[in-house]
Amino acid sequence: MLGGPTRMNCEVIAVKIPDNRTAAVLHVSGGVDLTTLDQLGGAIRRSLTVESLACLVVDLKEATHVDSSGIGMLLDAMRRANRRQVRFVLCGLNGAVHHVFERTRLNLLFEIRPTFGEAVLDLEAAAC
Domain ranges of the chain: 8-126
Q: Check if the beta carbon of residue 31 is closer than 8 Å to that of residue 8.
A: yes
For residue 2, the SS3 value is coil
- Say what the pLDDT of residue 33 is: 87
Plot region of 31 (φ>0 → left; ψ -120 to 50 → alpha; else → beta): beta
114 has a pLDDT exceeding 80: yes
User: Which CATH homologous superfamily contains domain 8-126?
Assistant: STAS domain (3.30.750.24)
Q: Per-residue pLDDT for 17 more than 90?
A: no
**What is the rounded average pLDDT of the residues 60-88?**
94
Q: Where are the alpha helices (DSSP H) in 1-128?
A: 37-47, 68-83, 95-103, 116-126
Q: Distance between CA 1 and CA 11 in Å, rounded?
A: 24
